[in-house]
Chains A and B, each alone.
Chain A
Amino acid sequence: MTQPADIRISPKSYSKSPQEIDPEVFRKLRKLFTDIYWLEDLEANFLELWNVCSDEQQQDLVIELIHRFSYITSRELKQCGEKIADQVTNKWKLNPSQTILIAFAEDNKPDGSQALLQSIKDKFAYLDKWSENNFFNKLAVGAYKLKSGDTAVLIDDFIGSGKTALRKINWLFSVLQKRNVTECKIYVVALAAMESAESVLQSIPIDDYFSCYWLRRGISDEYNGTELVAKTQLMRDLEGILGDTFRAHKLKTYNFGFKCSEALYNLEAYNIPNNVFPIFWWPVLKAGKKKNPMFRHFLG
Chain B
Amino acid sequence: MDNERTIILSTADKTILMHLYKTYRTPQSLFQLHKEYAFSPAQLGSFVRKLGEIDIIELQEDSILLTEVGKNWLLANRNIIFFSQIQYSWREVPEELREKKINIDSLYLPKVRKLGKHFLEDLSI
Task: List B contacts of A8 (CB < 8 A).
Answer: 6-9
- Is residue B26 contacting chain A, with contact meaning CB distance below 8 A? no
What separation, in Å, do the CA atoms of A38 and B57 have in the docked complex? 21
How many pairs of residues, A versus B, come closer than 8 Å at their CB atoms? Answer: 128
- Is residue B23 contacting chain A, with contact meaning CB distance below 8 A? no
What separation, in Å, do the CA atoms of A6 and B35 have in the docked complex? 31
Tell me if A9 and B86 are in contact (CB < 8 A): yes
- Is residue A23 contacting chain B, with contact meaning CB distance below 8 A? yes
What separation, in Å, do the CA atoms of A39 and B49 have in the docked complex? 12
- Is residue A43 contacting chain B, with contact meaning CB distance below 8 A? yes
- Is residue A107 contacting chain B, with contact meaning CB distance below 8 A? no
What separation, in Å, do the CA atoms of A35 and B53 have in the docked complex? 11
Number of B residues, CB within 8 Å of A: 47
Task: List A contacts of B69 (CB < 8 A).
Answer: 1, 4
Q: Which of B72-80, B108-116, B117-125 participates in binding chain A?
A: B72-80
What separation, in Å, do the CA atoms of A11 and B77 have in the docked complex? 18
Complex partner residue of A9 from B14, B39, B42, CB under 8 angstroms: B14
Tell me if B40 and A5 are in contact (CB < 8 A): no
Task: List A contacts of B6 (CB < 8 A).
Answer: 5-8
Tell me if A31 and B87 are in contact (CB < 8 A): no
What separation, in Å, do the CA atoms of A13 and B54 have in the docked complex? 23
What separation, in Å, do the CA atoms of A13 and B15 have in the docked complex? 13
What separation, in Å, do the CA atoms of A165 and B46 have in the docked complex? 39
Tell me if B3 and A3 are in contact (CB < 8 A): yes
What separation, in Å, do the CA atoms of A17 and B14 have in the docked complex? 17
- Is residue B34 contacting chain A, with contact meaning CB distance below 8 A? yes
- Is residue B56 contacting chain A, with contact meaning CB distance below 8 A? yes
Q: Which of A1-42 contact B (CB under 8 A)?
A: 1-17, 20-21, 23, 26-27, 29-35, 37, 39-40
If A8-B8, A10-B8, A23-B31 touch, whether A16 touches B77 (CB-CB below 8 Å) is no
Name the CB-closest residue of A to B52.
A34
Tell me if A17 and B11 are in contact (CB < 8 A): no
Task: List A contacts of B48 (CB < 8 A).
Answer: 30, 34
Tell me if B5 and A30 are in contact (CB < 8 A): no
Complex partner residue of B5 from A6, A12, A33, CB under 8 angstroms: A6
What separation, in Å, do the CA atoms of A31 and B6 have in the docked complex? 23
Tell me if B41 and A21 are in contact (CB < 8 A): yes
Tell me if B9 and A29 are in contact (CB < 8 A): no
If A2-B73, A10-B10 touch, whether A17 touches B3 (CB-CB below 8 Å) is no
Tell me if B43 and A1 are in contact (CB < 8 A): no
Complex partner residue of B34 from A17, A34, A37, CB under 8 angstroms: A17
- Is residue B84 contacting chain A, with contact meaning CB distance below 8 A? yes
Tell me if A3 and B76 are in contact (CB < 8 A): yes
What separation, in Å, do the CA atoms of A111 and B12 have in the docked complex? 40
Tell me if A5 and B45 are in contact (CB < 8 A): no
Task: List B contacts of A32 (CB < 8 A).
Answer: 41, 45
- Is residue B44 contacting chain A, with contact meaning CB distance below 8 A? yes
Tell me if A16 and B40 are in contact (CB < 8 A): yes
In whole Å, how far is B120's beta carbon from the nearest beta carbon of chain A? 46
What separation, in Å, do the CA atoms of A39 and B41 have in the docked complex? 11
Tell me if A1 and B87 are in contact (CB < 8 A): no
Complex partner residue of A43 from B42, B52, B75, CB under 8 angstroms: B42
If A5-B5, A20-B34 touch, whether A29 touches B41 (CB-CB below 8 Å) is yes
Complex partner residue of B7 from A6, A13, A16, A43, CB under 8 angstroms: A6
Contact sample, A vs B, 17 pairs, CB 8 Å cutoff: A2-B75, A2-B77, A3-B73, A4-B1, A4-B3, A4-B73, A6-B6, A7-B80, A9-B81, A9-B86, A12-B10, A16-B37, A17-B38, A20-B34, A30-B62, A34-B59, A43-B42
**Contacts A4-B55, A5-B3, A33-B46 supplied; 9 other A-B pairs, CB < 8 Å:** A6-B6, A16-B37, A26-B34, A26-B41, A30-B45, A30-B48, A33-B44, A34-B46, A43-B42
